[in-house]
Structure 1
Amino acid sequence: MTYSNQEVAELFSMGKFDEVIKYFNDTIVWELIGESTFEGIDAVVENCKLVAEYFKSVETDFRTNDIFVSDNKVIVIGSAEFRQNGKVIDIISACDIYVFNSDIEIEKISSYCISNKTN
């Protein structure tokens, strides 16, 4: 199955990395704003694996609030709630900005994640 830029972005933002790895450009850059940057397909895939393992260890509720699409950019705005043993352990607001090339490959992802959990 071939996905559009929007579909690729939505799947990635929902943590469905395995479905979109084939859409990564070899020189992809994933910047987690204020945290870290992963450069190149190997580094990005490795981080996707780590994030996917975390997602398997918790219950997740991802919600997409809005999507903006232009020629080669997609912005996904959403939120996620993470639970463990029935307790909310984190709630985040997120914005992922994707830049695609003409081959529907992701060249860059800029991710903004803000924790809203109050103890």
Structure 2
Amino acid sequence: MNAAPQQLAEAFSRHEFETTRPYLADAIRWNMVGSEVISGKENVVNTCQQSVRYLADVQVNFMKCRVIAGDQHVVVESLAEYTDPQQQLSKVASCDIYEFADGKIVEITSYAVEIPLQ
């Protein structure tokens, strides 16, 4: 499968990690601003697998997902509600900036903020 950068970026931001796995560069760098920087495909894949395990029991509702694509960069802005098994709700606004080279994701910069519930 040969996916467009816009499709890959949106899939990753929507937690569809298996779809994007073949398109991660070996030397990928994922900067989770204010948290950590993950370097290397194996480490990024491990982080994604941890996220998948956590999300297995969580209902995710994307309320907004806007994609802006350029030649080598794609930006995905999203707003999502997460409901855990105890029915506790959280709302997260995020922005992921993807850089591509030779059809692969080489860098991701992620900003995420939990929004107070009203």
Range of TM-score over shorter length: over 0.9
Match of 2:41 in 1: 41
The alignment covers a number of residue pairs equal to 118
> Whole-Å Cα distance in 2 between the matches of residues 64 and 116 of structure 1?
14
1:95-106 correspondence runs (5 A): 95-101=95-101, 103-106=102-105
Contact between 2:57 and 2:85, CA under 8 Å: does it hold in 1? no
> Whole-Å Cα distance in 1 between the matches of residues 111 and 27 of structure 2?
21
> Whole-Å Cα distance in 2 between the matches of residues 65 and 44 of structure 1?
22
Structure 1: runs of 5+ lacking an equivalent: none
Match of 2:115 in 1: 116
SS at match of 2:56: helix
Match of 1:6 in 2: 6
Q: Which amino acid aligns with 1:27?
A: A
Match of 1:90 in 2: 90
Contact between 1:6 and 1:69, CA under 8 Å: does it hold in 2? yes
Q: TM-score, normalised by structure 1?
A: 0.92
> Whole-Å Cα distance in 2 between the matches of residues 39 and 85 of structure 1?
32
Contact between 2:61 and 2:82, CA under 8 Å: does it hold in 1? yes
> Structure 1 stretches (4+) deviating beyond 4 angstroms?
none
Match of 1:20 in 2: 20
Using the TM superposition, give the Cα deviation of residue 80 of structure 1 relative to its aligned residue in structure 2, in angstroms: 1.2
Q: Which amino acid aligns with 1:50?
A: Q
Out of 23-32 and 50-59, give the one that drifted further.
50-59
Contact between 2:27 and 2:106, CA under 8 Å: does it hold in 1? yes
